[in-house]
Chains A and B, each alone.
Chain A
Amino acid sequence: MEIYEKLTNPLAFIIFVVTLSLPILIGFLTLRKTKNQSDFFVGGRAMDKLVVALSAVSSGRSSWLVLAVSGMAYTLGTGAVWAVVGYITVEMFQFIYIGQKLRAHTETFNSITLLDYFESKYNDRKHLIRITGVIIIAIFLTAYVAAQFNAGAKSLSTALGFPLILSLIISGLLILVYMILGGYIAVAYNDVVRAIIMIIGLVIFPIYGLIKIGGFNALLEILAELNPAYIDPFSLGIGIIIGFLGIGLGSPGQPHIVVRYMSIDDPDKLRISTVIGTFWNVVMAWGAVFIGLLGRALIPAVENLPDKDPEMIYLVLSSQYFGPILYGLLVGGIFAAILSTADSQLLVVASTFVRDLYEKIIKKDSEIDEARKLKLSRYVVLLSGILALILAYFAQDLIFWLVLFAWGGLGASIGTALIFSLYWKRTTKYGIAAGMITGTLVTIFWKLFLKEPTGLYELIPAFFLSALVIVMVSLLTGEKSTNG
């Protein structure tokens, strides 16, 4: 079955190309709004509530939602909902209980990055937290971006028959041009456009599928006949359900999601963003679950999917059931999902290199004027992008190995540190740094050696051990830390 065959239809191809290149136009439109480094990395703290809500939702999801969650629902049945409940619930609270406080603190300290915030909050003149954070963010997020580039380029290569290297260059150009032009503002507006494309796919698909199959009850009857476990969401067992819910613990530690809260014009508006963000998070996630379930009902045998891969169900259904316009949009939507995460992560990587490493550590005694900072930021986005592209081509095994730990590693290091810094007044810089290191190391160790024997998702023990270390080290170093 050739899932991309329909792209040979000129109309489908044109829609596909327009979907992919529209962001560049947005880059040009936002160029004049980007006047300084704060505009470039946090939108000048002037972004609208709707943009922040949709951007946080869209940049957090990537192709994992469209392809992996629908594939999970195809394989597991209704139990796949537990994979989305955890992160949606955590992010619902995050908008307000992390977002509002962080937004207020970062404005007070004039922080552009999360590490700026930590350093100012703890008066960390020796850059202990910043250096620890730079290493963690640079390694995990660079690998993340490279993996997104690789996934995007591989899909593009399969779709259009281009060699991988050419597909990588196209993927890189597609995001680097508008990122260099408009920075965060371009990325955030593009996230909104991409969220809308993803929503179209994830809403139209289930509605069309349910009509075709004869309604909700008919779907459940077909699934029950295939395997009764498909309609029992608790059939996975408590261990797997807890592991799925634990995915949500990673959300507060993803700098590319959290930076969205720092960019809103008025922190009070994060309250309404939580409703907007949660609503669309739910629509998109349940849309993906329904696609998987409908896919199982319409194509019961996995052998009938390309490479017997359940994650192909979205593409197969798009190709089989939709005309060229919708097909072009839906396939473009997958690339949109991949790129909307890659650009947000790449911007954080660039801010880590230029702001946290270069300006605050290497050139800490020099004054750099605003125009030069902005110029430098643009160069660093370009260089970080090229670095990620090189890794995506030459170090595929390494990046995919690192990505295995990225969500959990960031969640158990940056996430716990952020929560404690906002909510526990006795936290010290030594506690924060020790917690970050513990979270990272436990994630890697647990994943490699203890996940299989225990069956427990690594983020859960890593998160709680990191919290424990933050408390213990902070209590032990309380006196020291107040002296800076």
Chain B
Amino acid sequence: MFGATFALIILPIIIIGMSIVVFIISKKKQKDLTNGNL
């Protein structure tokens, strides 16, 4: 039962959470780009 709950409920929440983390930590990269650092 835990495996199914993990796959169907916890895993999608982890992935959405990861996207928020990626959003937050990506801030610095953007600054590099806007300074013309390609």
> What residues make up the interface of A, taking CB atoms closer than 8 Å to B?
78-79, 81, 85, 88-89, 92-93, 96-97, 100-101, 104-105, 108, 216, 220, 223-224, 231-234, 267-268, 271-272, 274-275, 277-279, 282, 286, 289-290, 293
A101-B38, A105-B38, A268-B30 given; 4 more Cβ-contact pairs under 8 Å: A92-B19, A96-B23, A100-B26, A279-B16
Q: Is the CB of A282 within 8 A of B15?
A: yes
List, in ascending order, chain A residues with CB within 8 A of B6's CB.
Answer: 233
User: In the bound complex, how far is the Cα of B20 from the Cα of A279, in angstroms?
Assistant: 10
List, in ascending order, chain B residues with CB within 8 A of A96's CB.
Answer: 22-23, 26, 29
Q: Is the CB of A274 within 8 A of B38?
A: no
6 residue pairs of the A-B complex, CB under 8 angstroms, read A85-B11, A96-B22, A96-B26, A216-B9, A231-B1, A274-B23
Q: Is the CB of A275 within 8 A of B19?
A: yes
Q: A279-B16, A282-B12 are in contact. Are A220 and B33 (CB under 8 A)?
A: no
User: In the bound complex, how far is the Cα of B7 from the Cα of A326, in angstroms?
Assistant: 29
Please tell me which one of the listed residues B9, B15, B33 contacts residue A88 in the complex, with CB atoms under 8 A apart: B15
User: In the bound complex, how far is the Cα of B18 from the Cα of A293, in angstroms?
Assistant: 26
B35 to chain A, nearest CB (A): 11
Quick one: closest B residue to A276, CB to CB?
A: B19
Q: Is the CB of A234 within 8 A of B3?
A: yes
List, in ascending order, chain B residues with CB within 8 A of A268's CB.
Answer: 30, 34
B13 to chain A, nearest CB (A): 9
A384 to chain B, nearest CB (A): 32
User: In the bound complex, how far is the Cα of B16 from the Cα of A194, in angstroms?
Assistant: 22
Please tell me which one of the listed residues B4, B11, B12 contacts residue A231 in the complex, with CB atoms under 8 A apart: B4
How many chain B residues sit at the interface, stated as a range, is: 20 to 34
List, in ascending order, chain B residues with CB within 8 A of A234's CB.
Answer: 3
Which residue among B19, B26, B34 has the maximum number of chain A CB atoms within 10 Å of its CB?
A: B19
Count of inter-chain pairs, beta carbons less than 8 A: 83
List, in ascending order, chain A residues with CB within 8 A of B29's CB.
Answer: 96-97, 100
Please tell me which one of the listed residues B8, B20, B30 contacts residue A286 in the complex, with CB atoms under 8 A apart: B8
B20 to chain A, nearest CB (A): 6
User: In the bound complex, how far is the Cα of B8 from the Cα of A108, in angstroms?
Assistant: 43
List, in ascending order, chain A residues with CB within 8 A of B23's CB.
Answer: 96, 271-272, 274-275
Q: Is the CB of A220 within 8 A of B19?
A: no
Please tell me which one of the listed residues B4, B12, B26 contacts residue A271 in the complex, with CB atoms under 8 A apart: B26
Q: A93-B22, A275-B19, A275-B23 are in contact. Are A100 and B33 (CB under 8 A)?
A: yes
Q: Is the CB of B30 within 8 A of A85?
A: no
Quick one: closest A residue to B13, CB to CB?
A: A282
Q: Is the CB of A101 within 8 A of B22?
A: no
Please tell me which one of the listed residues A92, A108, A272 contacts residue B38 in the complex, with CB atoms under 8 A apart: A108
Q: Is the CB of B1 within 8 A of A278?
A: no
List, in ascending order, chain A residues with CB within 8 A of B22's CB.
Answer: 92-93, 96, 274
Quick one: closest B residue to A289, CB to CB?
A: B8
List, in ascending order, chain A residues with CB within 8 A of B30's CB.
Answer: 100, 267-268, 271
A176 to chain B, nearest CB (A): 35
User: In the bound complex, how far is the Cα of B6 from the Cα of A223, in angstroms?
Assistant: 16
Q: Is the CB of A278 within 8 A of B3?
A: no
List, in ascending order, chain B residues with CB within 8 A of A105's CB.
Answer: 38
User: In the bound complex, how far is the Cα of B19 from the Cα of A272, in angstroms?
Assistant: 9
List, in ascending order, chain B residues with CB within 8 A of A104's CB.
Answer: 33, 38
**Smallest CB-CB A-B distances: 9 pairs:** A278-B19, A233-B7, A231-B4, A78-B7, A81-B7, A96-B26, A282-B12, A78-B4, A275-B19
Quick one: closest A residue to B18, CB to CB?
A: A92
Quick one: closest A residue to B34, CB to CB?
A: A268
List, in ascending order, chain B residues with CB within 8 A of A85's CB.
Answer: 11, 15
User: In the bound complex, how far is the Cα of B12 from the Cα of A181, in angstroms?
Assistant: 39
Quick one: closest A residue to B37, CB to CB?
A: A104
List, in ascending order, chain B residues with CB within 8 A of A78's CB.
Answer: 3-4, 7-8
List, in ascending order, chain A residues with CB within 8 A of B12's CB.
Answer: 282, 286
List, in ascending order, chain A residues with CB within 8 A of B7's CB.
Answer: 78-79, 81, 233
Please tell me which one of the listed residues B1, B11, B38 contacts residue A81 in the complex, with CB atoms under 8 A apart: B11
Which residue among B1, B18, B20, B22 has the maximum number of chain A CB atoms within 10 Å of its CB?
A: B22
